[in-house]
Amino acid sequence: MFQVNENYLKLPGSYLFSTIAKKVKSYTEANPHRKVIRLGIGDVTQPLAPAIIKAMHEAVDEMGDVRTFHGYAPDLGYGFLREEIAKKDYQERGCAIEADEIFISDGAKSDCGNIQEIFAADSRIAVCDPVYPVYVDSNVMAGRTGEYDEAKGIWSNVIYMPCTAENHFVPELPEERPDLIYLCVPNNPTGTTLNREQLKLWVDYANETGAVILYDAAYEAYIREEDVPHSIFEIPGARTCAIEFRSFSKNAGFTGVRLGFTVIPKDLKSSNAAVHSLWARRHGTKFNGAPYIVQKAAMAVYSDEGKAQLKEQVAYYMSNAELIYEGLKEAGYQVYGGVNAPYIWLKTPGDMTSWEFFDWLLESANVVGTPGSGFGPSGEGYFRLTAFGTRENTMEAMERIRNLKA
């Protein structure tokens, strides 16, 4: 009889956002007349910017003409997009990143989940707690995380770096030595960032200890403060210790279009191999390239017209963040995040657990958020709201929350 990968059997329950979707579905089926406002998963609501739609239309027309038709895309991405990214996202910010160090993919989630494959099976991973669940779950699937302690919500072979109000949600260097360090900055879910000095500490630590930083910068477009780096490659020394993940989902609304990229400097080497060539090998074997139409659409993200339109879109979501932040404060909550990130992280009132607050908010205000404990044990007692809703829904949700008594 065939056997399944037993590591999958260790995964507790379903993926966080699938669990939430199921709960909301059963609530809406039982209460069809209630208008539920979804501020749970960080999914965008604004349409694609006109410059992107125009580029997409043009690419669609090219696909309909035998002279300009495109079949398989190059597996690592079209040169035109890799060049543009290297120039506009990196070189213009003073980062020494070349086009052939950019790997185009169908999104940062896949890359964050897949990257662990190219590292040794016995690598120790360190994650912030709370954490974007993909980092941990993908390592569970690979058999790297040991045993799950259900009562504590932790894995025996994962180094957790608690991020709570006490340390301003900033991870501290771990006592145990990790091989792979996952950092998400600006952070999902807490909305916190690292300034230049704080990030330099991590780069120096990784170089000294021989660790790799897996740096998820999916929310980079939301950075508003001056001293916050947009890329880890702004920090000297990062080329020998870091990989960066970027997404077009949050800066350009591509959650349903799918596109992202990973930056692996050629200087990132272990004692026996260059990581760059391993990822190229993996990508070439398991990925057939992101669609031409989508990569052409992404070019518009870097045009003057596209940049101006997307700046407005990001500002729209950040106004929502402000509305949520201020509204919650007014309602008496302790609130964090929302300044350099589209996520607002709040303390649940009294001694309500995160899931109790989820149920209470869904039932009494018909508002959906994300329970902090779903991101890890240090998220217990916290709750995440996203700024990616429409303005109308965000305002209505805040009105409902303000009118509640916990």
Q: Which residues bind ligand MLT (CB under 6 A)?
A: 41-43, 109, 188
Least Å distance, CB 236 to ligand MLT, is: 30
Least Å distance, CB 130 to ligand MLT, is: 11
Instruction: Using the minimum distance from each CB to ligand MLT, give the nearer residue, 43 or 305.
Output: 43
Least Å distance, CB 258 to ligand MLT, is: 11
Instruction: Using the structure block, give the residue that is written with the tokens 């909305």.
Output: 191
Cβ-closest position to ligand MLT: 42
Least Å distance, CB 278 to ligand MLT, is: 24
Instruction: Using the minimum distance from each CB to ligand MLT, give the nearer residue, 24 or 41.
Output: 41
Instruction: Using the minimum distance from each CB to ligand MLT, give the nearer residue, 41 or 73.
Output: 41
Instruction: Using the minimum distance from each CB to ligand MLT, give the nearer residue, 223 or 241.
Output: 223
Least Å distance, CB 347 to ligand MLT, is: 19
Least Å distance, CB 290 to ligand MLT, is: 17
CA 130 remoteness from chain centre: 13
Largest Cα–Cα separation, the chain? 66
Instruction: Using the minimum distance from each CB to ligand MLT, give the nearer residue, 241 or 387.
Output: 387
Instruction: Using the minimum distance from each CB to ligand MLT, give the nearer residue, 43 or 100.
Output: 43
Nearest to 252 by CA among 274, 284, 220, 283: 220
